[in-house]
Structure 1
Amino acid sequence: MTTVSDRTALAEQVRARVLRAIDERADRLVALSHEIHANPEISYSEHSAAELVGRAAEEAGFTTEVGAYDVPTAVEAVAGDGDLTVAVCAEYDALPDIGHGCGHNMIAAMGVGAAGALAEVSGELGLRVKLLGTPAEEHGGGKVDLLLAGAWEDVTFSLMAHGSTGPDAPADAMRSTAVERLEIEYTGRAAHAAGAPTKGVNAGAAATVALTALGLLRQQLSPNVNVNAFVSHGGEATNIIPERAIVQAEVRAYDLDEWRELRRRVLACFEAGAIATGCSWQHRRTEHPYAPLAPHAGIAEIWDRNLVGLGRELDPDHVVGGGSTDMGNVSQVLPAIHPLVSVLGQDAVPHNAAFTAVAATPEADAAVLTGAKALALTVVDVALDERLRAELLDLHKSRPAGATRTTLDD
């Protein structure tokens, strides 16, 4: 019979081994972060980064596949054979022109570091460790591709950590929105703009009416939602009535029901443009929609405790919101967290060239190692918490087959 003192001794031993493993790999993890940072690759083009992550996982003893689940820049690496499966996510896509202005090079190194350390103690913890290299978070939704392909079907819980600036915050302080990105196309009829304007049906005017309607709609919208749009194609020449116009739009809300209602109202604005001008119109999603984050309270609490134990101070009033992540989709279908680790002493905002510079500083390197340790220690504590472990395993066993193979409906 295992006693409390036995479990305490095991926890101390395993936690010490995890920390030591990450310290021993510190130089390699920092080098991985810097190498990905120096060669930014945008969504679905992260071939070099995927190879680097895959190679690092192989060196750590994982059975590794680059191009997993028929996604060329996805990685799956597995170690251990316990009944509790954790998926640690590693992102590595960059932003167009800006590079790693969201610090995904840091995320990749944190994930690799945590997974490698956990693999070394998987036997003692009854743990199966799955490192998932998830491409195209900035645009596209690589995690949704992997969800639909079944990457999380065998997973009990999942986690990752994201770099940030400003003070450290609790794990549940990261608030993300549902987001859908749409392309709206209007089709009219071309005609000479001066010689035969009455013979034309103006697709550009349809786009103008729609964007005006959106501007007016904003007066009645909740501050918890956001709509953005721009005309990506509006005509060919000044002397031709535009036959075709294309608008790019995105719809965001923190609440899924509110997002669905907002989507309905936004599409009505685009329909108004067609009705007013006599154009035909159609719309399509340009990428997978993202769901809001729904962090698991028990796992989040353990993360907070470990981050503080590593010398960080949490500001309970610091809330980060407005953005979106495809980790939200994961958190909607199984227990998951997506906390932040601050690059201390920095105040650059994400998606800015200043953040790109910050993401390869010594302060960012320190955040990589802290994040890797906090992730690994959180998994250790979950695995050794008999009540929480049983709860998560019960949730996993009761989950219907195919329950994680989903995206947002309308």
Structure 2
Amino acid sequence: MKDIVLRQINELKKELIELSEYIYKNPELGYEEFKSSKAHVKLLKKHGFNVEEEYMGIKTAFRAEFTSEIKGPTIAYLCEYDALPDIGHGCGHNLLGTISTGAGIVLSKFLSNIGGKVVVFGTPAEETSGAKVHMADKGAFDEVDIAMLAHPADKHYKSGTSLAMEAIQFTFKGRSAHAAAYPDKGINALDAAINTFNNINALRQHIRSDARIHGIIVEGGRAANIVPELAIAQFYVRASTKSYLKELSSKVKNCAMGAALAAGAQLEISNYEASYDDLVTNNTLSNIYCEKLMAMGVENIYESRESYGSLDIGNVSHVCPTIHPYFAITDRELVAHTKEFADATITSKAYEEMCKTIGALVLTAIEVIKDKNLLKAIKEEFEKTRSN
């Protein structure tokens, strides 16, 4: 099976390189990836996929499906293709998305014999307000049996974890007054914002070591001689699980409410970006992927990296069994979100590893489709780990 998969990948390789390099040369920010999503859709349609564009009302999202006449599991590959401001594809989403589309196309060539369905999802804006959150909330992954993607890195790493995150905005409203002539007539909204930071800093000694709270003041007044009537602070609150995030976010909101009460200001609490769930890797699925990756010739697969960031695929992992491994695009240490990282995605080394990674993703899916007991074990693990 490995040799047949490799033959299919090699036949597709030229088109995949063209796709990745086109997106590399045309970097687009989140929810503006019109050229990138169209390029994916064009290639998927060419290979027989039925594509729904502007999926779930998101202009640069898509859902591409290829279904066998034989019933079987639904395999999902997730594409990302948004870039970073100024840097371009410093996170390698040009190659990430290409691998998912490539895996979907290669797997589709086998479905007439083994059954099942493959769905390639175009998921915009991972770098900002990730579309996977909205898509998961609206049921996009409810019928998916397993979901996978592989992210560029300097080494091959197992799928790991990410932090759950809530993006909280505090809007404090006071009353303006001349700060020297009539200070007693004013209500200082900026004081409430500053004291929120002070309250949170006092809270830090009583939070778990793997939690994170960080924020900025985006509005704090216009002139030093006017009591600020409006102040806005934005925070990311992160925790290792959904349940602890809920607890910690409540405490952070209490910090703001206490500060508002002390200043006499009104407080409005909102979310300024989508909030992410923690990534729960399905280890049964991850082990199969690693086994197939080694079969493709990868000798060193490192343990998952300790991560204090947040990923919108975390929300997917609470809906269906999911993995998010990393694959090497270089032989040297490389820092993500840099121009050097972007350039590394269009090298011969990156394309060599692209083929191995696609092979592992496809062989994993074939194994899951053919082995009902394996799929059962994957789902049993998912049910045990999903609620946290």
Q: Please report the TM-score for the alignment, with normalisation by the length of structure 1.
A: 0.88
Displacement, 1:351?
Answer: 2.7
Q: Secondary structure at 2:318's aligned position in 1?
A: helix
Displacement, 1:298?
Answer: 1.8
Q: Of the candidates 146, 168, 177, which is equivalent to residue 156 of structure 2?
A: 168
For the 8 Å contact 1:170–1:314, the answer to whether it is kept is: no
For the 8 Å contact 1:30–1:368, the answer to whether it is kept is: no
**Identity over aligned pairs, percent:** 33
Aligned to 2:120: 131
Are residues 1:102 and 2:88 paired? no
Letter paired with 2:247:
E
Aligned to 1:17: 4
Q: Secondary structure at 2:259's aligned position in 1?
A: helix
Partner Cα distance (2:297, 2:380) in 1: 34
Partner Cα distance (1:182, 1:114) in 2: 37
1:99-134 C-alpha deviation (Å, 9 max, x unpaired) = 222111111100011000011111112121111111
Letter paired with 1:288:
A
List gaps (5 residues or longer) in structure 2: none
Displacement, 1:47?
Answer: 1.1
Q: Secondary structure at 1:380's aligned position in 2?
A: helix
Partner Cα distance (1:143, 1:327) in 2: 6
Aligned to 2:40: 53
Displacement, 1:86?
Answer: 0.7
Q: Of the candidates 74, 87, 105, which is equivalent to residue 76 of structure 2?
A: 87
Letter paired with 1:168:
H
Q: Of the candidates 173, 180, 202, which is equivalent to residue 216 of structure 1?
A: 202
Aligned to 1:298: 284
Letter paired with 1:377:
L
Partner Cα distance (2:299, 2:106) in 1: 24
Aligned to 2:14: 27
For the 8 Å contact 1:142–1:326, the answer to whether it is kept is: yes
For the 8 Å contact 2:193–2:256, the answer to whether it is kept is: yes
Q: Secondary structure at 1:25's aligned position in 2?
A: helix
Displacement, 1:252?
Answer: 0.6
Q: Of the candidates 140, 144, 167, which is equivalent to residue 151 of structure 1?
A: 140
Are residues 1:39 and 2:23 paired? no
The 1:315/1:61 distance shift into structure 2, 3 A limit, reads closer
For the 8 Å contact 2:96–2:152, the answer to whether it is kept is: yes
Letter paired with 1:190:
S
1:168-197 C-alpha deviation (Å, 9 max, x unpaired) = 2223xx220101111110000011122222
Alignment map for 1:7-406 (pairs within 5 Å): 12=1, 15-81=2-68, 82-165=71-154, 167-171=155-159, 174-317=160-303, 319-390=305-376
Moved more, 51-60 or 136-145: 136-145
Partner Cα distance (1:393, 1:234) in 2: 50
The 1:318/1:153 distance shift into structure 2, 3 A limit, reads closer
Displacement, 1:394?
Answer: 9.1
Displacement, 1:363?
Answer: 2.8
Moved more, 378-387 or 354-363: 354-363
Ranges of 4+ aligned residues in structure 1 off by more than 4 Å: 315-318, 390-396
List gaps (5 residues or longer) in structure 1: 1-11, 399-403
Displacement, 1:49?
Answer: 0.9
Moved more, 255-264 or 278-287: 255-264
1:74-108 C-alpha deviation (Å, 9 max, x unpaired) = 11111123321111111111223332221111111
Partner Cα distance (1:390, 1:379) in 2: 14
For the 8 Å contact 1:233–1:245, the answer to whether it is kept is: yes
The 1:343/1:275 distance shift into structure 2, 3 A limit, reads same
For the 8 Å contact 1:118–1:376, the answer to whether it is kept is: yes
The alignment covers a number of residue pairs equal to 384
Partner Cα distance (1:277, 1:180) in 2: 25
Moved more, 135-144 or 116-125: 135-144
Displacement, 1:361?
Answer: 3.1
For the 8 Å contact 1:163–1:367, the answer to whether it is kept is: no
Q: Secondary structure at 2:32's aligned position in 1?
A: coil
1:183-227 C-alpha deviation (Å, 9 max, x unpaired) = 110000011122222211111111111112222322332221001
Aligned to 1:3: none
Letter paired with 1:262:
L
The 1:268/1:377 distance shift into structure 2, 3 A limit, reads same
Letter paired with 1:146:
M
Letter paired with 2:357:
G
